[in-house]
Structure 1
Amino acid sequence: MPQAAFVLHRRDYQETSLLVDLLTQNSGRIRVVAKGAKRNKNPWRAVLQAFTPINIEFSGRHELKTLTLAELSGHPHVLIGNRLYSGFYLNELLQRLLPLQAEVDELFEVYCQALQQLSGERNLETILRWFEWQLLNQLGTAFDWSCDAENGEPLTRHSVSYFDPERGFLHTPHRDKATAWPSELITSLAQIDLGTDDLTQSQRKACKLIMREALALHLGSKPLRSRELFRR
């Protein structure tokens, strides 16, 4: 049975084929060989593009699968400028952090919604923070924005809080020069539905830096190539 999918990354494989990472609705992130896809007359050459909804089938029992079907299932999402770079950022996060063949039914729908929003006019920072939070939830590493990770006390019992990527928010600094965040600002983020609500400027700044720390724990020392696009 064909299933919905999006291309996360593709690269040359041997003389005429492509090695493609896909986010699929039912099989999670998979890696396939698209045999002959580099040939000019092969229809997969145009189909296997980023941000384009497709239906695919594949075969194989090992981690590296063989693509047997790839066809368009909708119109490509047209992303321009920073919204295009943001799309690459989402793809790179999924490629780097999502284990192969992990169950991601909900995350696939989140990704579809994020692409739709990137194609529109919603605040870009809010879209990215929402997606990052959904990914942390999928990885099982989400944290509480309202309580101390050690004792469960409400953060608002103290004027400032500190973020530890391995545990969450604390009332006492976990390392030298740890950033002191206003507790009221942090707990205000607990009341936000990032799927529908927009962030204020102060919330956007705080959320961006906190989510960057949280993701860095899983990304390691290798920098994200997509972030470099924003600096150019």
Structure 2
Amino acid sequence: MATKRIGDEPAYVLHHYDWSESSLILEMFTRHAGRVALVAKGVKKPSSSFRPVLLPLQPLRVSYGGDADIRTLKSVDWVGGHVMPTGEALLSGYYLNELLMRLLARDDPHERVFDIYAPTVALLASGQNSLLQPALRAFELLLLRELGLLPTLDAQTLSLHALQPEQAYALVPEVGLRRAATDDRYHLSGAQWLALNEAMSEGQPLTALWTLPELASSALRVMLRQLLTYHCGVGALKTRQIMLDLQNL
């Protein structure tokens, strides 16, 4: 629902488009309103006070108003706390933004998604490269769960039979979690899926997940990416393809 005036709202810039010679349309992820579109008038002018602040992957506080689908940015302040991620961490941050752009509808609040996005971005900016992949896997898992796109990880999806720790199970986009077939290249053991499920049930699921060795599994990475691209409705995410191309170089 459109609102006339919002002030001091925690937010991040996800993406931007040209609006005119001097203005931009910003796709922003806010804590209380979800993804919103704002016009930043005159932001491309050298004299604009918004220009050095409206950067992706930076914690901001914004005020905006208007009744239209695209509202007007009134003020923006940098909250501080961390610098812009660099290198692979920067591409990973853009990957998170692309997921939110594709999976979140405008004006649909997702406070819990915001509360996993913000610390994940801060971790990407921390320079702890060893936690980069665990951070992405944890975000993917929790994002899918919060959007209702992740099946329960303690039972087979169609039969509801409990997982057996020693058996292998595959996460398949069309059917959910099922016992791995002989031609399934990617799968985890029941014990691994149960460990992930238990960590996601903790009071601080991000930190609980970051410590799990299962998040380093290439099989988990592939299965989650397949599930995400299936729900995004695309053959491949742009940022994912860029990362693959850079690795090949």
What TM-score, normalized to structure 1? 0.88
Distance 2:89 2:194 in 1: 29
Per-residue deviation, 1:54: 1.5
Q: Secondary structure at the match of 1:45?
A: coil
1:195 counterpart = 2:206:
yes
SS at match of 1:77: coil
Q: Is 2:219 aligned against 1:206? A: yes
**Cα deviation code 1:145-166 (max 9, x no counterpart):** 2211122212217733232324
Alignment partners' CA distance in 1, 2:91 and 2:178: 34
Partner of residue 23, structure 1: 29
The superposition leaves residues 66-117 of structure 1 with CA deviations (integer Å, 9 ceiling, x where unpaired) of: 1111122224533121111111111111111111011111111111110121
Deviation (angstroms), 1:198: 2.5
1:87 aligns with 2:87: no
Question: In structure 1, what is the equivalent of residue 3 of structure 2?
Answer: none
CA contact (8 A) 1:130 1:195 kept: yes
The 2-side partners of 1:186 and 1:199 are apart by 11
Distance 1:109 1:201 in 2: 23
Work out which of the residue numbers 1, 10, 15 in structure 1 matches 2:16: 10
- AA in 2 matched with 1:152: L
Q: Deviations over 1:171-217 (max 9, x none)?
A: 375xx944462434433433445622433268521221121121122
- Taking the aligned partners of 1:201 and 1:145, their CA distance within structure 2 comes to 13
Q: Find out whether 1:218 has 2:226 as its counterpart.
A: no
- Secondary structure of the residue aligned to 2:164 is helix
Contact residue 162 and residue 171 of structure 1 kept, 8 A: yes
Name the % identity. 27
Aligned partner of 1:164 in structure 2 is: 172
Q: Provide structure 1 residue ranges, at least 5 long, that are not aligned to the other structure.
A: none
Q: Take 1:11 and 1:220, find their aligned partners in 2: how far apart are those partners?
A: 22
Tell me if structure 2 keeps the 8 A contact 1:159–1:183.
yes
Instruction: Give 1:69-148 correspondences, 5 Å limit.
Output: 69-120=75-126, 121=128, 123-148=131-156
CA distance in 2, matches of 1:219, 1:164: 15
2:53 to 47, 55, 64: 47
Distance 1:75 1:202, change over 3 A: closer
Counting only pairs closer than 5 Å after superposition, residues 57-76 of structure 1 correspond to structure 2 as 57-76=63-82
Aligned amino acid, residue 19 of structure 1:
I
State the distance in 1 between where 2:40 and 2:179 align: 52
Q: Would you say the 8 A contact 1:3–1:57 is kept in 2?
A: yes
Query: C-alpha separation between the residues in 2 aligned to 1:208 and 1:172?
Result: 16
Separation in structure 2 between the aligned mates of residue 203 and residue 192 of structure 1, nearest angstrom: 15
- Unpaired runs of 5+ in structure 2? 1-6
The 1:73–1:203 alpha-carbon spacing in structure 2 relative to 1, beyond 3 Å, is closer
Is 196-205 or 44-53 further displaced after alignment?
196-205
Contact kept in structure 2, 1:52 and 1:74, CA below 8 Å: yes
Distance, in Å, in 1 between the alignment partners of 2:216 and 2:57 is 29
**Residue pair 2:89, 2:124 contacting (<8 A) in 1 also:** yes
Q: TM-score, normalised by structure 2?
A: 0.83
Structure 2 residue matching 1:156: 3-state secondary structure: coil
Aligned-pair Cα RMSD in Å? 2.3
